[in-house]
Amino acid sequence: MIRKILFGAILIIGAALALFFTLGPMWVERDMNQRADVELPAISEEAEALHERLIVADLHSDTLLWDRNLLNRSGRGHVDLPRLEEGNVALQVFASVTKSPAGQNYDSNPADSDTIIWLAIGQLQPIRTWFSLLERSLYHADRLVRTEADSEGALRIVRTRADIDALLADRQRGEQVTGALLSIEGLHNLEGEVANFDRLFDAGYRMASPTHFFDNEMGGSMHGLEKGGLTEFGRDIVRRMEQGGMIVDIAHASPAMVDDILAMATRPVVSSHGGVQAVCDVNRNLTDDQIRGVAATDGVIGIGYWDGAICSVEPADIVASILHVRDLVGIRHVGLGSDYDGAVTVGFDTSELAVITQLLMDEGLSEGEIAQIMGGNVIRLLRDGLPEG
């Protein structure tokens, strides 16, 4: 009888583990990255034709966090190569998310928990990623490199200005190629070691935010406990980023850290994904003074698509935020920063980006202005900030 009970228990445990490793990560993603039932505007032939002529670029997605083959169209999430191609996206920034605190919120989070370890284990990632934030980012970079190799030229990682120029030239000749740029969401993956900066740069990372949802060795997060400015370690890394050609991203930084970064910036600074408090009064979003500060570096503010950024999931509120930045500091300083696949609900996925083109046309913007917003400003930022190559 005892043997039968033990055997039954082993079978139950085995079945539970099988579900955890096979279906668990998929269920988590399906629950966390949703598309709301939003009525989208009809796309006119004129808007469709214009959208196909644009160079579209998105400053932030968290797609590498999830266990999907980017080359295949998925029924989950918001981004994959087929949908990028349908949305005429020329360049997508892919962020490496390495740590998320339990009970994550916008107001106050300690740094002593790590929920992403369960994704790493559930996705059967290499054991080295289970307990090292650095190794998680190196794994994300390796995944994108392998995806590039398997894409037969359809996906191309961008690391230099020369890569940007080649990408645009090939698209101009009619080649179906999409650029990908590696970014880091929170430099806690440095694990407090300056030497790890070179490892991440060599792996292809070309943009990074110092903090994510908690304070770290770099300084304070707007969602952390202390919310302080840059530490001496943080200042050192920011200088290395600017000197080496890695773009500094103030998304998630505390107000004190934003002030410190803008005060020392010698190159354009980006706010990769978020909103503006004038439209959506959430601490996640930028004040008018911070918007002016980013613009003073000749930087770009990427507008997100989820409720924390625009206080809804309606495309019209994305456009309202875009227009606020334009009216405040000029059209040169605003772009797209979706936060696709970032555990968010949005009104449309990347294949449907023409809705933004349509709404900008409806607001009376010229083709040149729309081209700047939809990607031109981001491309200019990258050409100014990346190594020459």
Give counts: helices (H), strands (E), the chain: 16, 11
Rounded alpha-carbon distances, angstroms, from residue 263 to 159, 256, 269, 287: 26, 11, 11, 16
Distance CA 228, CA 308 (A): 22
pLDDT digits (tens, 9 = 90+) for 57-99: 999 999 999 999 999 999 999 999 999 999 999 999 999 999 9
The model carries a pTM of: 0.93
Are 382 and 350 contacting, i.e. CB atoms less than 8 angstroms apart?
Answer: no
Are 326 and 368 contacting, i.e. CB atoms less than 8 angstroms apart?
Answer: no
Between CA 193 and CA 199, with CA 195 as vertex, the angle to 5 degrees is 115
pLDDT the model gives residue 18: 44
Chain centroid to CA 166:
23
Rounded alpha-carbon distances, angstroms, from residue 71 to 150, 165, 214, 319: 8, 23, 33, 30
Q: Which two tokens stand for residue 124?
A: 């059967």
Could you count the other beta carbons within 10 Å of the beta carbon of residue 278? Answer: 17
pLDDT digits (tens, 9 = 90+) for 204-239: 999 999 999 999 999 999 999 999 999 999 999 999
Rounded alpha-carbon distances, angstroms, from residue 215 to 118, 147, 196, 257: 21, 32, 19, 11
pLDDT(13) > 50: no
Are 359 and 317 contacting, i.e. CB atoms less than 8 angstroms apart?
Answer: no
pLDDT digits (tens, 9 = 90+) for 331-383: 999 999 999 999 999 999 999 999 999 999 999 999 999 999 999 999 999 99
Q: Which of 315, 316, 307, 250 is nearest to 280 (CA)?
A: 307
**Given pLDDT bands bounded at 50, 70 and 90, which one contains residue 295?**
very high
